[in-house]
Every structure is written in C-alpha cells, then in structure tokens.
Amino acid sequence: MDLAKKKEENKEYTIEDLPGVGQATAEKLRDAGYTDLIELAVASPKDLGELTGIGEGVAQKIITAARKYANVGQFETGDVIFERRKNLAKLTTGSKELDTLLGGGMETQSITELFGEFGSGKTQIVHQLAVNVQLPPEKGGLGGEAIFIDTENTFRPERVVQMAKSLGLEHNEVLKKIHVARAFNSSHQMLLVDKAMELAKKVPIRLLIVDSLTAHFRAEYVGRSSLAQRQQLLNRHMHDLLRFADINNAVVAVTNQVTTNPGQLFGDPTHPIGGNIVGHTATYRIYLRKSKGIRRIARLIDSPSLPDGEVVITIKEEGIRDP
C-alpha cells in the first residue's frame, strides 16, 4: 500500500514503508535498535549513518521521510494530565523510613531505579515489592500482581515464602501472583516488555520488575564503538517501561549495578551503568550502600520533586524493614 493512501486511512507505518528502505536496510535499522518511525524521526543523521553503516547521506533521507510519516503524538491539556496523576498511588518498600524518603513509597506511573554494588540489597528489595504489591492499599499495597523479568536468575520463590509468611499472607497465593520470566539476552528482555503489556490486559499487574536492567546490555555491548548503540537500545527499553507504568498505573522498579572506580579521588566513585540515559528516564533513583551487617544505606538522588536524603534500612529474614 502506498504511503499517501495509508495516511488517508490513518494507518501506522512500518520502516519498510519509507521510500528507499528495502528489506536489507530495514534489517540494519532494526539491528541498530531503530524499530519504528518515531525513533528514526528523532535520530541524528550522523549516529544513524554510523550505527547502521548506511552512511550519513542516506540516513538523512530516511530521517526526513520518517519525520513526515511518524506518529509524533499529540498535545495533551493540563487537565487531562492532572486527571491521570490523581490516580498516582504509592507502594510500600517495607521500610517506613525509606517510604518517607520517597514521599510515601514507590510511585506508580514512574520508574524507580535501584543502583548499588553487588550485595547491596537490590534483589532483596524487588522481592519485597513483589509481595507488598499484593497487600490492600490500607496496608501500603496496590492490591495487584507483579511481573518479574529476571536476567540474572536471581528470583527465589523461597525468599518470597519467607516474606509472605512474615506478613501473614498465604504464601502459595502470593507466589501465584508473581509472574516470572527469564530473559536470555537484551533483545529477549526488551520483547518481554511487550509480553508484559499483553499479560497486563488480562491480569491486574501493578508492578513490573526488571532485575537487572543493564546486565545483558553491559555484557553484549562492550567497548566504545558499541556504546552509542547500547544507549539507543536502553533508551528505547526505558521508554517502553515508562509506557507500561503509565498505561497500567503501575510501579516499575529496575536494578542497576555500579562499577567502582577506586582511582577516582573526587565525587562519587561509583557509576551506574547506562549513565545519563537510564538516569534521565528514571524518575526516582536510589543508591544503595552496604553498612554494618544487615544494614544498608539508601540514598535518594536527583529527584525532581523530593529533597535528596538518606536512610538506613535492614535486610532480615522477614524482609526489608526499619532498623
């Protein structure tokens, strides 16, 4: 079908619809992480040319065409956004102190990033969230179910059982409301967000966990030359997650490792993977540090609406608690 006709009929275009883009070029574009017209429309000719190997000139032509036909979206009036934000809800972390730091708990319609070194408690916290989301609102839950995208094989039903028991919940019922999928690589991980969207149409999913957000990306895209491509894909992944959060009025919690750079003398010696891409899309970022024994320090960083600050939490057999 030709482009003009499709436009008339208000159809969505695919990359192949663009003039000069055949199957081979479409494949190169998709491999580089450009899967729909809007992503091409906002790309820079230099990046697109380099990442796909099609050259800057051809890239510019594709971008110009994509701008013409992309569904760029519409303006929303403030009252519509106000109405949607009225439905914002908060999910308890298990620690009152941490909830207070977050303005009442983890917020729906946004992404919360937990970052920290190995053993800092990221996986423990997301297990706790998967249990807590099932609690009724008066107990800090959202009365819903959870999806757990597991990239490092760290989901442990036994841990869920311990946490559920300590809240007086029937642990088998709790386990039935946690939908777990292993992601074998970064592409699979991204596809699982589409699957999550489908599942959320049938089941009241109010929490989506990705543990870890960045491990596959870090392992697969090594070195400077693949950095731009990795960032492009992570950017797209983050926006898919944010869309999930918005549509389902859900909490999205993602974990991220840090690489320690002991040689660095000033500032924070740790760097979350994915750097500014992940940081700019996540609404809330919590930096976790080990302290004595079962204690962990949680610090809120760069929040648009809350003051920065830090609290101490503990990881016990019953789960995440105040000291």
Task: Report the interface residues with Mg ion, using CB under 5 A.
Answer: 122-123, 154
The torsion region of residue 274 among left (phi > 0), alpha (psi -120 to 50) and beta comes to left
Q: Which is nearer to Mg ion, 162 or 249 (CB)?
A: 162
Q: Which is nearer to ligand ADP, 25 or 162 (CB)?
A: 162
What values do phi and psi take at 31, rounded to 5?
-60, -35
Q: Which is nearer to Mg ion, 19 or 119 (CB)?
A: 119
Binding-site partner at residue 130 among Mg ion, ligand ADP, none, CB < 5 to 8 Å by type: none
Torsion of CA 175, 177, 181, 182, to 10 degrees: -30
Q: Which is nearer to Mg ion, 123 or 189 (CB)?
A: 123
Number of other CB atoms surrounding residue 192 within 10 Å: 22
On whether the CB atoms of residues 238 and 285 are closer than 8 A, the answer is no
Shortest CB 114 distance to ligand ADP, Å: 8
Binding-site partner at residue 151 among Mg ion, ligand ADP, none, CB < 5 to 8 Å by type: none
Shortest CB 292 distance to Mg ion, Å: 20
How far is the C-alpha of 155 from the C-alpha of 10, rounded, in Å?
43
- Amino acid identity of residue 81, one-letter, is I
Q: Which is nearer to Mg ion, 110 or 151 (CB)?
A: 151
Which residues of the shown chain bind ligand ADP in the complex (CB under 6 A)? 116, 118-124, 159, 162, 315-317
How far is the C-alpha of 181 from the C-alpha of 155, rounded, in Å?
9
If you count them, how many residues does the chain have? 323
Cα 165 from chain centroid? 29
Name the residue among 8, 63, 52, 50 with its Cα closest to residue 30: 52
For the chain, give the longest Cα–Cα distance. Answer: 66
The residues with which 95 forms a beta bridge, in sequence order, are none
Eight-class DSSP state of 269: S
Shortest CB 319 distance to ligand ADP, Å: 8
Shortest CB 185 distance to Mg ion, Å: 18
Shortest CB 158 distance to ligand ADP, Å: 8
Q: Which is nearer to ligand ADP, 302 or 317 (CB)?
A: 317
Q: Which is nearer to ligand ADP, 317 or 322 (CB)?
A: 317
Shortest CB 120 distance to Mg ion, Å: 9
DSSP string, 182-214: E--SHHHHHHHHHHHHHHHHHS-EEEEEEETSS
Shortest CB 221 distance to ligand ADP, Å: 21
Residue tagged 């580089």 (tokens):
32
